[in-house]
Chain A
Amino acid sequence: MTPVQQLVLEAGLPGSTPRRDRAPTVRDDSLPELIEWAVDERLTGLLSHAIEEGALAVESDDLANQAHDAHHSVLRTALAAESAAVRTVALLADLGIEAYAFKGVANAHLDYPDPSWRTFFDTDLHVVRSQFGDAIDALLDAGYTRTSLRLGARWERRFARACELRAPSGVEVDLHAEVATGYFGVVLDYKSLRADAEPIVLADQNVFAFSLPARALISCYSIALARGPGLRLQRDLAQQLLALSDRWREVVDLAGHEGAVVVAQSFGAVASMYPLVSFEPDALAWASTVRPTTNGRRALALAEDARSVGWSADARSMALALGPVEMARFGGGIAVGRLRRKRRSWSPNVS
């Protein structure tokens, strides 16, 4: 992390008020790389804000405009993703299926002073496991398409964490039965997670999002289990922790005994990333005392494996949470599904 990148990450956070007379100047030849980094990490909003508020100086107005133009372009994609969220939620609601927005669209509107600071390229929606299959079918009927072949219809309804779809507009819509990968996603108390949902009004429609503690918990899982640096996720959690203040224990309660280690790791990661920000000292003190459960430790190790090995490590992590009968169905379904996949040509909507 370069000092300039750190400044971008801190833009707009309390405790990071810029001193214009001390603002580092980004050289002409390094701005394109910085912009590319910001686009990849979904941080163009913070970069644009950092330049606007004087936390970063650039050598010429033309180059400042390049950064703003990059953000403008990314924001247009975010609005398209937001539109997809609105349409998808409405479609499902017509069928009595409640969908909850989380990550990008939810965090942008609920956790940032200006939703333009937080961009996203896709839409993440959670539905109850019992309605997961029906929700997928409904969206496929409405013209959405799968982006990858599934293993089997029954296996998907019972075990699949999420289904990646593409809306008719071209936007990626990820429908989640579980909001975290592997073991942690299976053991979460989703009923508690969905309680106290907060409405966001988008296009004159109420779109429900998870509550603040639930959003923070999901950020923790995303940071701990992510396959990339997850810089925007860490910024999300920083915003959420500041808003939670002394309510941080609600995040721990939602995580339960098994998930506490993930929350603790994430609290620590964010505190390290943002040394200037005053997070609740009790939260950091608590984080230093947490020890993982046996399954939690194994799941975290598998998550580490998944970063290099991929999906099979996630599957093994999930299996930690299953009883023997369910494990047989889980493993058997994977085997049969793979056999079927080999036998037919790839078609996104084959049921």
Chain B
Amino acid sequence: MNVRLGQANGLVEKQFVRAQRVVWRVLRDRVMVHRVDASPDSASTDLIGPVALVWLALDEPASMAEVTTRLAEESVEVADVEAELGRLVAAGLVLERDSEPGGREAIEPLMAVGRLAVYDTAVLVNASAPLVTELASALADLIVSTDRHHLWEAPGHDDPLHFLQVEQAGERWTVRWDGEPSYSGQSMDLALYDALIVLNQHAARTAVAAGRTVLHGGSVVIAGRAVVLVGHSGAGKSTLTAALARKGHAYLADEVVAIDGNHLVDAFHRPIGLRSGGAAALGVHMPDGPYDSILPFRPGPPLGDRAPLGVVVVLRRSETPVGVQLTELNPPQALIELTNQTLGATGGEREMFRRLDEFVRTARVVELIYSDLSEVVAVLEAAAVEPGARRRTE
């Protein structure tokens, strides 16, 4: 895993300094670090291997070049100093600051939110204090560990580890993914929103790289089969996903729905993004918090595991009363509809089309036009248990 430190916007060369409010000890094969201000169960971290050596080399603030020199002077070999510094920065144990006077304000100490499982990857999330609670709450269904003792352990020994960091420096919020800035601005609300978007993007990239067909939509499990809801923005995908989940159907995913070649739908339990209209329709209170525009909504248990695909539903919302109209789509019609709802890697469009073409030949895709949310749920529940995938056509 190669973490590159942010070098955007022509910023001056950075200095690195150990985070304040940290106590630590050297043990025979590791450095034990404890954050003074963190909650007891997330305060402690063990640094092992090259990253520990880089930490020890930071007894005084230093640039990357200076750290490399110090290590060389001690005859200590660290293959990729930049990557190790990046890990420490992403973990909030080391701070970056401009080496010139008058540089940007020091970053507020980062605290651990948790380690997430996103498909077969691990994502370590850290944030400055004002957003820790909100992020921890929003991402609770993806968090697999808050034990910083296991910070560097990925789910499987080959599984890559990534870093999502939401940092505050003075008035400015910056979201970084693997060290690269994604959002930088003065809105905590937008920083939170961007952090969730960045996570979606990672999930989509990972799923595409793993050969999945990736649709932009939501999914729940009804009668043992995944119902995938896609549609244009405002069609009600997330609202309906939340409505079905609240009815007791296992929540599977929102925003990113990954389907493998055997039509198994993966789980991605990110919070459902509800707009104010959707929240109102569901009777969900929009509490005070840094989410004026979109509420990260956790539907609660049950949470679904991988499930066989039942039906893909292309949603359209009508402004005029139309009841509920359900229409089966043939493969060409489905291909047209789903092209706009499919997420793929930039430069990988040909492969994306190939997968989608194969997908629509064997998956059941329907169009559902509705005007009243309350009438749709029952129709979807019935549609889910109708005969499954169409047979492959030559």
Chain A contacts to B: CB under 8 angstroms: 48, 52, 68, 71-72, 75-76, 78-80, 82-83, 86-87, 114-116, 169-170, 202-205
Contacts and interface: CB of A to CB of B under 8 A. Distances in A.
Contacts of A72: 27, 32
Nearest to A119: B25
Given A80-B34, A169-B43, A203-B20, 15 more contacts: A68-B27, A72-B32, A75-B25, A76-B34, A76-B149, A79-B44, A82-B23, A82-B34, A83-B23, A87-B37, A115-B25, A170-B40, A203-B23, A203-B36, A204-B20
A203 B21 contact: yes
A33 B305 CA distance: 45
A98 to B, nearest CB: 19
Interface string B11-39: 00000000011111111100010111100
A115 to B, nearest CB: 6
Contacts of A78: 25
Main secondary structure of the interface of A (DSSP, over half): helix
A82 B23 CA distance: 7
Contacts of A68: 27-28
Contact of B34 (A83, A114, A170): A83
A87 B32 contact: no
A160 B35 CA distance: 33
Contact of A203 (B22, B25, B40, B44): B22
B43 A83 contact: yes
Q: Which of B20, B28, B37 has the most chain A CB within a 10 Å cutoff?
A: B28
Interface of B: 20-28, 32, 34-37, 40, 43-44, 149
Contacts of B34: 76, 79-80, 82-83
Nearest to A90: B36
Contacts of B44: 76, 79-80
Main secondary structure of the interface of B (DSSP, over half): strand
13 contacts: A48-B28, A68-B27, A79-B24, A79-B44, A80-B34, A80-B43, A83-B35, A87-B36, A169-B40, A169-B43, A170-B40, A204-B20, A205-B21
A170 B24 CA distance: 19
Nearest to B17: A204
Q: Which of B20, B36, B43 has the most chain A CB within a 10 Å cutoff?
A: B36
Nearest to A79: B34
B27 A116 contact: yes
A226 B23 CA distance: 29
Nearest to A86: B36
B23 to A, nearest CB: 5
Please name the 8 residue pairs, one residue from A and one from B, whose CB atoms are nearest each other, closest first.
Answer: A79-B34, A204-B20, A83-B36, A82-B23, A203-B21, A116-B25, A203-B36, A169-B40
A80 B39 CA distance: 10
A170 B26 CA distance: 24
Contacts of B40: 80, 169-170
Contacts of A83: 23, 34-36, 43
Contacts of B24: 79
Contacts of B149: 76
B32 A75 contact: yes
A71 B35 CA distance: 19
Given A76-B34, A83-B43, A86-B36, A71 B25 contact: no
A203 B34 CA distance: 9
B52 to A, nearest CB: 14
Nearest to B18: A204
A169 B32 CA distance: 18
A52 B23 CA distance: 24
Contacts of B32: 72, 75-76, 79
Contacts of A202: 23
A79 B31 CA distance: 12
A75 B27 contact: yes
A52 B37 CA distance: 33
A86 B28 contact: no
A75 B149 CA distance: 13
Contact of A79 (B20, B21, B25): B25
A115 B34 CA distance: 15
Contacts of B23: 79, 82-83, 86, 202-203
B138 to A, nearest CB: 24
A82 B32 CA distance: 13
A87 B22 CA distance: 11
B242 to A, nearest CB: 36
Contacts of A115: 25
